[in-house]
């Protein structure tokens, strides 16, 4: 799949797609074999537990607010304008521990199975099922103690 030229407007997803993944809204922004970019809007308390992408590099550009990150076992904070680099194979998770919403642009390279994963997770609420489906799509969640 090649990258389509054009603009994906603020507040909407590519081809007007959105996904609800465990209460967070995801908007795809660019979709092609080499890159998959998506925006998230994380409310206070929202998070994605520590996990590994064995076949993808991932990046986050924090646009508004801030995120607490656990990156390779170390806690850090990314604020608006910061870019986070998460090489493939490195455990990472993000957490909105602030009292304000956070908006961030994420992208992975290559796309791999991530778009298919988001489509499969849309509107699921069973966390065990989310973990199982994620593992089948090359996203491996670590045990809960990794989030401490």
pLDDT along the chain (148 residues), means of 10: 89 87 92 95 95 97 98 98 98 97 97 96 93 96 95
Hey, what are 89's tokens?
A: 């194979």
What is the number of other CB atoms lying within 10 angstroms of the CB of residue 73? 10
Q: Is this prediction's pTM over 0.75?
A: yes
65: CATH: 2.60.120.10
Is 7 a domain residue?
Answer: no
Number of domains into which the chain is organized: 1
Is 56 a domain residue?
Answer: yes
Domain range enclosing 107: 17-141
33: helix, strand or coil? coil
Hey, what are 80's tokens?
A: 């608006």
Q: What is the pLDDT of residue 9?
A: 86
Cα 110 to Cα 96: distance, rounded to the nearest angstrom:
26
Q: What is the pLDDT of residue 47?
A: 94
Q: What is the pLDDT of residue 1?
A: 86
């Amino acid at each position: 799949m090649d990258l389509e030229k054009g603009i994906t407007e603020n507040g909407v997803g590519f081809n007007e797609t959105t996904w609800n993944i465990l209460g967070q809204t995801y908007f795809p922004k660019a979709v092609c074999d080499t890159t998959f970019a998506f925006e998230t809007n994380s409310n206070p308390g929202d998070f994605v537990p520590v996990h590994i992408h064995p076949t993808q590099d991932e990046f986050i550009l924090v646009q508004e607010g801030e995120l607490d990150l656990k990156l390779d076992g170390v806690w850090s904070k990314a604020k608006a304008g910061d870019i986070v680099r998460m090489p493939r194979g490195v455990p990472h998770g993000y957490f909105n521990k602030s009292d304000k919403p956070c908006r961030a642009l994420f992208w992975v390279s290559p796309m791999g199975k991530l778009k298919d994963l988001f489509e499969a997770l849309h509107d699921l609420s069973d966390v065990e099922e989310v973990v199982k489906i994620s593992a089948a799509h090359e996203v491996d969640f670590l045990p809960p103690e990794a989030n401490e």
